[in-house]
Amino acid sequence: MELQPILLLLQLITFITLPFSSSSTDTISINQSLADGQMLVSSGERHTLGFFSPGNSTNRYLGIWFTKLPDQIVVWVANRDNPINDTSGLLSIDPQGGMLLHSKSTAALFWSTNVSVLGTPLARLLDEGNFVLLQQDGADETVLWQSFDYPTDTVLPNMVRKTGPDHAVRSWKSSNDPATGDCYYVLDPRGSPELILYRGRATKLWRSGPWNGIAWSGIPEMARITFFNATVVIDGSDTTFVWGLRNPDMIARFYLDPTGTLNRAVWQDKVGRWNLIAYYPKEQCDYYGNCGPNGNCDPYRVAGDFPCTCLPGFEPRFPNDWYLRDGSGGCVRKRTGNLSCGGDGFVKLENAKVPDTTMARLNVDMDLDVCGEECLKNCSCTAYASSNLASGVGCVTLYGDLVDTRVFAGDGQDLYVRVDATELGMRARMLAPRLEILYEDKDSSVPIFDVNDIFDATGNFSLGNKLGQGGFGSVYKGVLFDGQEIAVKRLSQTSRQGIEEFKNEVRLVSKLQHKNLARLFGCCIHGDEKMLVYEYLQNRSLDFFIFDKTQGLQLDWPRRFEIIIGIARGLLYLHQDSRLKIIHRDLKASNVLLDAAMNPKISDFGLARLFGEDQTEANTNRVVGTYGYMSPEYAMGGLYSTKSDAFSFGVLTLEILSGRRSNQCHQESPSISLIAHVWELWKEGRAMDIVDSSTLGGSDSTDQVMTRCVQIGLLCVQESPVDRPTMSDVVFMLGNATTLPSPKKPAFILQGKYDDMDTIATGSSAIPSTNRVTLSTLVPR
């Protein structure tokens, strides 16, 4: 249309339309208009449509926001790139049925739906936040246009994501300007569909990984989130993705901020604020192609180590750059030879993010075994994976370089990487000696280190490499021939931790991967010698810091708080989020190790016990553990559960806060434990009196968090296990300013005048008789 007819049309619309009536709620008909200052409110009052000015801007935009929230959170903008510079904006439906946003003073057009309606047009704001243009034909209504198809920076529940650039989610330029920003993400249908986040026209920042029937491969934690569901439908070249809330009363959103971060947030009415529950990218290995082609990013390597490794059968393209911690050049096939299309095989990479599938091929009807066979038949196929973990049927095969692969802690999926016959033979020789000869659980096998390699690494267990002495033996630092630093737990031949405890520790820890758990690399058995090879953590154990006034100065309150949260998350993983359900039974300060960044890692699983999926508690007539950390039902009756670990966590939290050992005498009351001392102060309203002076922050907010941690610690050490919170509850309470219940009387433990005790194992001759608590005769309830 030429300009003059458009101006005449707009002037005609302005003349014949009636002002929007305040008695109306969610609709605009052909004989109405919505002026600046007027609003549509959805039928359930969840969303509002109207004119607004963002931040400190004076420009006016037509947008949609949450109605009942205290801050105006805009989720959609009509004229984001064409603002109105005054309050003359008017939203109308033209005679042909399309919606127009124009100026009632100048007739300038700022936005339109550019659709025609044959029947009677009607615009309505739905309660889910979707603004729709309807064509009415009698009692029937047909959606001709909807805002859900043209998002700005936000995706709401039930908003169907479609493929193509027209349906991309694009960031604002800034908090004051909703214009199209530099960052956007799209649902890419090529190969196996996935969400890809870009900066600029072609720079990939992050990708979700392909949909595997349960979650996006690069967001495996989606499978554990219970408050929302997600569905991906692949129908030929047509792919859609939609997520929804299981509780329709919840308020949640995905939004892309101007920095290029994709955020998932839930509104919490109780505290009146948004809870950011996830964001992407969140760590170095999330960034696209961080380790280059055929590289694998592992954020759980020893703290401070370069996170990049090469996929099986590959080596760094530029070794010097790799040494300088630059993995962008990626990896190339080893010089042993190229793939031959004869004699090749696959190496399984567990807990992986499937590489970029843009050039992949998807077959939703092929099972995984046939998938591998088909990949071997094609000389260009370099890897394969399951495309549907839920059904077990579905195959995605990859070709050329494998880009943007990473490792997850206990999540992710299996990726099968193609290697040549030479690499297969070498790996078979490396993995031949397995621990499975010791017990029946063949899935728990881990590599066995040669004893000579351990002797070389530790300098024949020299005193200079000794890191510490525990109840079951000594720990030494070592350096393997490839430069990998390790910690070797050498079990004493007279130790009460016999072959069963040794097997137990290997059986459990070999299956665990979490950033707050110490990683087991392998083990070594040589005659009567039994050794466990762990990752080396530079800063020793937590007790070295919190019980020493000088070393304790290195742990200010923010760091201590992060340590408390990290320990809680590690326990939550053991109790709930891992494939197993594990009770640690010996959580204490000396069994929490610290990496170079002072991140906590729970260690020493010799006493841990595996629970069945539905099992809640167990008992034993051989009570082992550490005095001061054991729950009363375990110490006195041999009964243990996740709540006994929660008790130990509560004790440890109070130790971190106070800088005092749980069994240390107190000048004020030398006959009572730390728990009893804290309880007395709590009842008197003097909870902050227990806080180590080196941690004091000097602000009201800091004191509130410290007091909150004291209360959480007391909740965990309540006498009855039923009253104690689960570790899931603890993690939530630590991360959210919710109202906490008042703690009941804790389990008091009377003691004599001694300062410290090590692990108690019934019948152990290693513990002085004056410090021993005899538990071997107790009968479990």
Q: CA angle, corner 151, sides to 147 and 156, nearest 5?
A: 90
Which are the contacts of 551, defined by CB distance < 8 A and separation ≥ 6?
Answer: 544, 545
The SS3 call for residue 645 is: helix
- Is 162 annotated in some ligand binding site? no
Distance between CA atoms of residues 291 and 305, nearest Å = 14
d(CA 113, CA 482): 63
Q: Which two tokens stand for residue 514?
A: 């979490």
Amino acid present at 593? L
Question: The tokens 């005054």 sit on which residue?
Answer: 86
Longest dimension (CA), the chain: 102
- Please report how the helices 642-658 and 674-683 are oriented relative to each other, as an axis angle in degrees rounded to 10: 70
- Distant-in-sequence contacts of 455-461, Cβ < 8 A, 24+ apart: 456/481, 457/481, 457/486, 457/488, 458/488, 461/488, 461/490
Count of other CB atoms within 10 angstroms of residue 329: 17
Alpha-carbon dihedral of residues 260, 261, 266, 267, nearest 10 degrees?
-60
Catalytic residue among 36, 94, 411, 586: 586
Give me the DSSP letters along 70-129. Answer: SS--EEEESSTTS-BSSS-EEEEE-TTS-EEEEETTT--EEEE-----SSEEEEEE-TTS
Taking Cα atoms as reference points, which of 738, 717, 720 lies closest to residue 729?
738
586 is a catalytic site residue: yes
| Angstrom distance (rounded) from CA 182 to CA 752 | 67
Cβ atoms of 568 and 576 within 8 Å: the answer is no
Question: Looking up tokens 């604020």, which residue turns up?
Answer: 273
Helix then strand count (H, E) for the chain reads 13, 47
Chain-centre distance of CA 404, in angstroms? 18
What is the Cα–Cα distance from 494 to 573, expressed in whole angstroms?
A: 33
Give 274's contacts (C-beta < 8 A, 6+ positions apart).
Answer: 265, 266, 267, 268
CA atoms of 6 and 12, how far apart (whole Å): 10
Q: Which amino acid is at 27?
A: T
**Long-range Cβ pairs for the range 553-556 (8 Å, 24+):** 553/694, 554/598, 555/598, 555/694, 555/695, 556/694, 556/695, 556/697
How far, in Å, are 168, 573, 762 from residue 776 at the CA level?
Answer: 66, 31, 5
Terminal CA-CA length for the chain: 87
Angle between helices 642-658 and 557-572 (to 10 degrees): 170
Cβ pair 303, 600 in contact under 8 A: no
How many CB atoms are located within 10 Å of the residue 285 CB? 22
C-alpha closest to that of 552 among 696, 665, 422? 696
Query: Which residues carry a binding-site annotation?
Result: 489
Query: Which residues carry a binding-site annotation for ATP?
Result: 489
Which sequence positions are flagged as catalytic?
A: 586
